[in-house]
């Protein structure tokens, strides 16, 4: 484990001066749950980082596991104007921000629709976005878990292809967190103004399974099969099926490589 995470060290290493309230806690169940509980009452934007997250969550009630000190687990709460329907492409825009930040740190990654960051075919980072709308505004809490080192026991427990980033594990985690925060702030500010459209081509540059046969599954049932053709201007996955091109909205569906 590198230097301890510290809010002043992260703030000092940011390249931009836009205000973000930063807080580090030793241990919590879920940084997303904590920021969702504060809702709009807390300072915004807010970054909450946990040295150890004991009940990390993925989509649809799945869990996100992390060993203390071997991962970066954090959530960023951000206020957007308008309703939650404006945020459909947000997980993909966040993926672009993370992928570009990691590429600048010499860690090449790919994006798996809708919300995973892959490295060498394993999952390096996952993300969960939760929202709460009030009159005219929506609070988005963007939770990210990034593996630095993955001990064998944890990999076994997860039971799926996971990836680690030993190169990032050797970095000062405050420097890494500052780089990710800067990239996220830039992406969220741009998303607020322009939506997902300006991110589409950038997302497609990182598309993990471009041109490959894939399946869309929901609770184990295959909904669609086709060749992954990238995403459109609203973040829907374009799939070339036997019946022509279809656009899939994220919802809770999952994408799988089709091994035929």
**Using CB under 6 A as the criterion, which residues of the chain lie in contact with ligand ATP when the complex forms?**
58-59, 62, 64-66, 115-116, 123, 126, 145, 147, 158, 160, 162, 254
Residue nearest to ligand ATP (CB): 58
| Minimum gap (Å) between residue 254 Cβ and ligand ATP | 3
CB < 8 Å & 24+ apart, contacts of 147-151:
147/66, 147/70, 147/71, 147/123, 148/70, 148/71, 148/72, 148/173, 149/67, 149/70, 149/71, 150/67, 150/70, 151/67, 151/70
How is 138-163 classified by DSSP, letter by letter?
EEEEEEEEEES---HHHHHHH-S-B-
Q: Which is nearer to ligand ATP, 174 or 254 (CB)?
A: 254
| Minimum gap (Å) between residue 158 Cβ and ligand ATP | 5
Report phi then psi at 190, rounded to 5. -70, -40
Q: Which is nearer to ligand ATP, 20 or 91 (CB)?
A: 91
| Minimum gap (Å) between residue 110 Cβ and ligand ATP | 13
Q: Which is nearer to ligand ATP, 42 or 122 (CB)?
A: 122
| Minimum gap (Å) between residue 197 Cβ and ligand ATP | 23
Question: How far is the C-alpha of 51 from the C-alpha of 107, rounded, in Å?
Answer: 22
Q: Which is nearer to ligand ATP, 197 or 210 (CB)?
A: 210
């Amino acid at each position: 484990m590198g230097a301890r995470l510290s809010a002043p060290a992260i703030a000092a290493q940011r390249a931009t001066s836009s205000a973000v309230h930063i807080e580090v806690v030793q241990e919590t169940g879920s940084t997303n749950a904590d920021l969702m509980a504060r809702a709009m009452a807390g300072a915004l934007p807010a970054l909450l980082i946990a040295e150890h997250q004991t009940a990390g969550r993925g989509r649809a009630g799945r869990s996100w596991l992390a060993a203390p000190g071997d991962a970066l687990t954090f959530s960023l709460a951000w206020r957007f104007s308008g309703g939650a329907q404006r945020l459909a492409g947000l997980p993909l825009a966040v993926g672009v921000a993370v992928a570009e930040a990691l590429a600048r740190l010499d860690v090449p990654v790919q994006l798996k629709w809708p919300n995973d960051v892959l490295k060498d075919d394993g999952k390096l980072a996952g993300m969960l976005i939760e929202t709460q709308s009030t009159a005219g505004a929506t609070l988005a809490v963007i939770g990210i878990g990034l593996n630095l080192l993955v001990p064998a026991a944890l990999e076994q427990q997860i039971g799926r292809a996971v990836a680690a980033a030993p190169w990032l594990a050797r970095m000062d985690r405050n420097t890494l967190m500052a780089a990710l925060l800067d990239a996220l702030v830039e992406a969220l500010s741009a998303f607020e103004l322009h939506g997902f459209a300006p991110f589409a081509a950038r997302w497609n540059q990182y598309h993990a399974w471009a041109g490959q046969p894939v399946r869309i599954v929901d609770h184990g049932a295959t909904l669609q099969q086709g060749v992954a053709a990238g995403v459109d201007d609203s973040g829907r996955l374009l799939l070339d099926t036997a019946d022509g091109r279809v656009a899939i909205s994220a919802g809770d569906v999952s994408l799988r490589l089709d091994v035929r």
